Chains A and B, each alone.
Chain A
Amino acid sequence: MIALFRRDLQLAMRAGGGFGLALAFFLIVVTLVPFALGPDRETLAAVAAGVLWLGALLACLLSLDRIFALDFEDGALELLATAPIPLEGVAAVKALAHWLTTGLPLTLAAPVLGVLLSLPAGAYGWLTLSLAIGTPALSVIGTFGAGLTVGIKRGGLLMSLIVLPLYVPTLIFGADIVRRATDGLDPTAPLILLAVITLASAALLPFASAAAIRINLR
């Protein structure tokens, strides 16, 4: 499984691997917001929390269909299914690799982009923390969506339709943490709920992903 993890990171870093694509998308979306809403600091500060979370979520979505589709097309997924590693482990490892190549860079870039949106000073720490806790859930849920739609030609759009509704709870609590911090309230409650979502999906969804892949490989 370590071999698979290292290979997935290696593939992401190589040409055409998509590393940095999500980050660039995030950067552009957040940069476009002041153009759309005007440069008023108050307006931007009010929407900053939501925009940053929504931008991170969409950037995450962008690279999901690579998780299994490439391995399916070149036959590697079938060979992994017959290899002595469990498919549940394959799904978990691929989610982890996806988080390291998208979720983590997004988390680290978000505070910098917060400056563009005049995010209030007290909210930067909470923004980083909420993304660090929330983006793993995005990767794990996305891996499940990718597993469901693997084998469907150009299934990217269908996958987005399946995955986006599943992202709703993560988005609500994630953005709420930052919004509460912006308003000077205590963000502990949504933080705990967000952690619950991440832990629960990381514990359960790899099994669902593996089951979906098994069915799709038949």
Chain B
Amino acid sequence: MTLNVQDLKVGRAGIALLDGVSFDVCAGDVLVLRGPNGIGKTSLLRSLAGLQPVLGGRVDVAPDSMAYGAHADGVKGTLTVVENLTFWARVHGHPVRADVFDAFDLAHLKDRTAAQLSAGQQRRLGLARLAVTGRLGLLLDEPTVSLDAASVALFAAFIQRHLATGGFAVIATHIDLELKAEVLDLTPYKAQAAAADPAGFDEAFL
């Protein structure tokens, strides 16, 4: 189970942001993406997740093997914690394992609706969603936003266990998760300020 990226070119709205990005992530590896705001970390992750087309290069990974976690958690305020997690587990065809609630310190919040949770608690719920998808690859965009120190430690422990069971992760983050991780600074891959993709205004339809 590996993610293999070769000479990847990604952009946003037709403008190339990153060019020539190449890396390998094997089972048990974490790749931390670094770089200043606007360098294209989110675009790179979205491209890897298949949410936007790449402008060039190759991404080799088994289909349906990666889970994407973005700024927005996909948590429904009117559903309870259990209902939210059960929904995402069933969409991915898995049962919800009971230990997920302990892993993210949600056991005492199970029957609260998500709207009643604090921002950090909602974030923990959003991260717990990653655990119930059963996917081996995790693509995480700033996963620790609004988490306190204890929750960051819980999250790091979850990633550690995930890696031990053959998973891998690509994480865009500014804080140190204290994981044994490779760090990829995206600054050298910044695309030259070339003109927009020649596909022009038809880009959305191609």
Interface residues of A (CB under 8 A from B): 2-4, 7, 10-11, 14-17, 71, 73-76, 78-85, 215, 217-218
Contact = CB atoms under 8 A, between A and B. Distances in A.
Contacts of B92: 83-84
A67 to B, nearest CB: 14
Interface string B104-138: 00000000000000000000000001000100000
B44 interface: no
Contacts of A218: 51-53, 204
Interface of B: 49-53, 64, 66-68, 70-79, 83, 86-88, 90-93, 129, 133, 204-205
A213 to B, nearest CB: 11
Nearest to B63: A84
Given A10-B79, A78-B68, 12 more contacts: A3-B87, A11-B79, A74-B72, A75-B70, A75-B71, A78-B51, A78-B74, A80-B74, A82-B51, A83-B92, A84-B92, A217-B51
Contacts of B50: 81-82
A4 B91 CA distance: 7
Nearest to A216: B204
Nearest to B14: A218
B205 A215 contact: yes
A3 B86 CA distance: 9
Contacts of A16: 78
Given A10-B83, A11-B79, A76 B90 contact: no
Contacts of A11: 76, 78-79
B66 A82 contact: yes
Contact of B88 (A10, A71, A79): A79
Contacts of A78: 51, 68, 70, 72, 74
Contact of A7 (B66, B70, B71, B87): B87
Contacts of B90: 2-3
B51 A75 contact: no
A3 B51 CA distance: 22
A81 B50 CA distance: 9
Given A10-B83, A75-B71, A84-B64, A15 B53 contact: no
A15 B51 contact: no
A84 B93 contact: yes
B78 A82 contact: no
Given A3-B90, A10-B83, A84-B92, A75 B74 contact: yes
Contacts of A79: 68, 70, 74, 88, 129
8 contacts: A3-B90, A74-B75, A75-B72, A76-B75, A78-B70, A79-B68, A79-B129, A218-B204
Nearest to B93: A84
A206 to B, nearest CB: 17
The 7 closest A-B pairs by CB, nearest first: A75-B72, A3-B90, A76-B74, A14-B78, A79-B74, A75-B74, A218-B52
A17 B75 contact: no
A92 to B, nearest CB: 15
A74 B51 contact: no
A16 B51 CA distance: 30
A82 B49 contact: yes
A76 B68 CA distance: 11
A73 B100 CA distance: 26
A74 B74 CA distance: 5
Contacts of A15: 78
A11 B70 CA distance: 22
A83 B91 contact: yes
Given A3-B90, A74-B73, A75-B71, A81 B51 contact: yes
A126 to B, nearest CB: 38
A87 to B, nearest CB: 11
